[in-house]
Homo-oligomer: A and B are copies of this chain.
């Protein structure tokens, strides 16, 4: 039953150079996986009703006076002393009626555009980490260099569709950091960029940079999404100042807010999946309502990131059954509303080991079967987000590539079944190496891995017995060794630098809190 690779290889060596390569579009994906439900429809309706009760009866604490005024103008009962906002279900329903079902995101090149809607599938690399780690340099506080390298790595893989918040460049002063990260995203990738909501002054700087680098008028910028932010509520039931500002600013400028309460069951959320997701749902509804009050029709994406704590230690856990079920429940609620939505994979492991792989993939399948539109932390995320790993980015990208391959599907037509071109061509106990069907397809039929290695034990041992992690180091170093940035209009890039120099001289824009 063992194939005879050496004979076959010799025969094809000369042809291999001219052989066509497999071409699969990883850039716009539709989720091919069937949707899974964890709760029956009537319980989902109960959760939604309970969330409406939470907003109406228990209320949200909203720290930004401007946001409270917007809610009040929209009909909410507001207690300014307590900073509490009580949102009626009629307000929520009105907001859900204007929130768009489909959001077309304009990247730096048309082939990088993505559409956020139920059914589409968008991956983001692990994000928001204060630290970076790799096998060569170890774990260190995130730096500008790490930010740029991680950007180059995520730009390399088509399967990362949006630039994530990545790793924090801690050596760049906080009042200038948004210039650095936005310039990098504008000049080193043409994928859809991310902007932190760290207060209106920073956000306005970033909008201006993107508008000008893309060569847009104000009206053109505001007409279509050119960037996005992530809004984390402070669970339970709190919307802080920069987050509320972000919701308002992004809505009014036609840019995308992805609303994601980050809730850990048993800590800042109820211990049950049902309770935690009900709370998360209420908080998202509050945020969506604010965006639609700020500007009806503003692009906003439902989201959740709910996992459990380990009740022995209180530490966050990821890729657990509860995490999986929370994704399923959130997916049901997002479909209940009809909105695109974001979920998350991720790992609690402290290094890129088997636990890290298993947790991330378990979380990923939860998101896929939940029908998530955007899956963040789909690669590279360790320590529950305290670090991003270069090697893990590579090994997880392998998994995402395989998911993208599954999105492409397969056929079982006459040619593929191959009765004439394969099945009748080979005698019992023979082999199909030389069948016409094989010869036609050998260079294009299968996905070729980035880091997975199929050498046998002997060959693998002779080559140094490198595990996937060590091989991943070679992969990322090779990617970083080659400049892969897209072309940028030189005049606009110079103008961008001039803008940054001017704003830096003016003192930049400190984050708000």
- Per-residue CB proximity of A444-464 to B under 8 Å, as 1/0? 011111011111110011000
CB neighbours of A44 from chain B (8 A):
412
Do A272 and B437 have beta carbons less than 8 Å apart? yes
Do A454 and B316 have beta carbons less than 8 Å apart? yes
Do A329 and B454 have beta carbons less than 8 Å apart? no
Do A355 and B422 have beta carbons less than 8 Å apart? no
Q: Look across to chain B and name the residue whose beta carbon is closest to the beta carbon of A386.
A: B457
Which residues 340-359 in A have Cβ within 8 Å of B in the complex?
348-359
CB distance from A47 to the nearest CB of B (A): 6
Looking at A53-61, A108-116, A166-174, the stretch in contact with chain B turns out to be A53-61
CB neighbours of A356 from chain B (8 A):
354, 468
**Measured CA separation A68–B36 after assembly (Å):** 47
Known: A44-B412, A454-B316. A50 touches B419 (CB 8 A): yes
Q: State which of B317, B409, B429 has its C-beta within 8 Å of the C-beta of A234.
A: B429
Do A454 and B417 have beta carbons less than 8 Å apart? no
Q: State which of B319, B398, B422 has its C-beta within 8 Å of the C-beta of A275.
A: B422
**Measured CA separation A455–B313 after assembly (Å):** 8
Do A354 and B468 have beta carbons less than 8 Å apart? yes
Q: Look across to chain B and name the residue whose beta carbon is closest to the beta carbon of A432.
A: B270
Known: A36-B33, A44-B412, A348-B452. A3 touches B442 (CB 8 A): no
- Of A38, A43, A46, A446, most B-chain CB atoms within 10 Å: A446
| A72 interface residue (CB < 8 Å to B) | no
**Measured CA separation A311–B33 after assembly (Å):** 27
**Measured CA separation A359–B447 after assembly (Å):** 13
Do A315 and B454 have beta carbons less than 8 Å apart? yes
Count of interface residues, chain A, beta-carbon cutoff 8 Å: 135
Q: Look across to chain B and name the residue whose beta carbon is closest to the beta carbon of A45.
A: B412
Do B311 and A443 have beta carbons less than 8 Å apart? yes
CB neighbours of A427 from chain B (8 A):
236
Which residues 225-275 in A have Cβ within 8 Å of B in the complex?
234-238, 262, 264-275
CB distance from A237 to the nearest CB of B (A): 4
Looking at A288-296, A320-328, A482-490, A499-507, the stretch in contact with chain B turns out to be A320-328
| A69 interface residue (CB < 8 Å to B) | no
| A202 interface residue (CB < 8 Å to B) | no
CB neighbours of A321 from chain B (8 A):
402, 405-406, 446-447
CB neighbours of A235 from chain B (8 A):
1
Do A34 and B412 have beta carbons less than 8 Å apart? no
**Measured CA separation A405–B323 after assembly (Å):** 12
Do B50 and A417 have beta carbons less than 8 Å apart? yes
Do A354 and B8 have beta carbons less than 8 Å apart? no
**Measured CA separation A30–B119 after assembly (Å):** 27
Do A314 and B445 have beta carbons less than 8 Å apart? no
CB neighbours of A437 from chain B (8 A):
270-272, 275
Do A457 and B383 have beta carbons less than 8 Å apart? yes
Do A268 and B54 have beta carbons less than 8 Å apart? no
CB neighbours of A265 from chain B (8 A):
445-446
CB neighbours of A84 from chain B (8 A):
428
Do B429 and A236 have beta carbons less than 8 Å apart? yes
Do A416 and B274 have beta carbons less than 8 Å apart? yes
CB distance from A19 to the nearest CB of B (A): 9
| A139 interface residue (CB < 8 Å to B) | yes
27 contacts between A and B (CB under 8 A): A5-B314, A9-B312, A268-B431, A268-B432, A270-B438, A271-B438, A274-B410, A274-B411, A308-B445, A308-B446, A311-B445, A313-B454, A315-B454, A315-B456, A316-B454, A317-B454, A320-B447, A321-B405, A321-B446, A321-B447, A322-B446, A351-B467, A353-B469, A355-B468, A361-B362, A383-B457, A386-B457
Residues of A within 8 A of B (CB): 1, 3-6, 8-9, 32-36, 38-39, 43-44, 46-47, 50, 53-54, 58, 60-61, 84, 139, 234-238, 262, 264-275, 278-279, 308-317, 319-322, 324-325, 329, 348-359, 361-362, 365, 369, 383, 386-387, 392, 395, 398-399, 402, 405-406, 409-414, 416-419, 422-424, 426-433, 435, 437-438, 441-443, 445-449, 451-457, 460-461, 465, 467-469, 472
Q: Knowing that A139-B457, A317-B446 are A-B contacts, what are 6 other residue pairs whose CB atoms are under 8 Å apart, sorted by A's residue number? A: A34-B34, A43-B412, A54-B419, A271-B441, A275-B418, A354-B354
* 10 pairs of A and B residues whose beta carbons are closest in the complex: A5-B314, A274-B412, A61-B428, A34-B34, A43-B412, A357-B357, A321-B405, A353-B467, A3-B267, A355-B468
